[in-house]
Amino acid sequence: MIRFVTDQWLHEPDILAPVRHLELSVVDLDGNLLAQSLPPETGWTHERLEAFAEELAPLTEGGAEAYLGRVWVGGTEV
């Protein structure tokens, strides 16, 4: 399952804020598109990304990377 690095801990930069309104793309380890999703109206949150990852779990068993726009935000090898 994809693990997202978008949760923010004390003193860590917020990497989600600048890309929260961009399209989510999930690709396999060869770069083939597995899934895409437009952001919710209010933008992505870490919790929404995790819920989407659960839905995609069967598709990402062979490994995958996740991007908001062109920004890497997670993968199965995190």
Q: What is the pTM of this model?
A: 0.93
Kind plus residue range of the DSSP H or E element containing 36? strand 33-37
Torsion of CA 13, 45, 48, 34, to 10 degrees: -60
Each residue's pLDDT tens digit, 48-67:
999 999 999 999 999 999 99
Q: What is the pLDDT of residue 68?
A: 98
Mean pLDDT of 26-40: 97
Task: Give residue limits of the domains in the chain.
Answer: 3-75
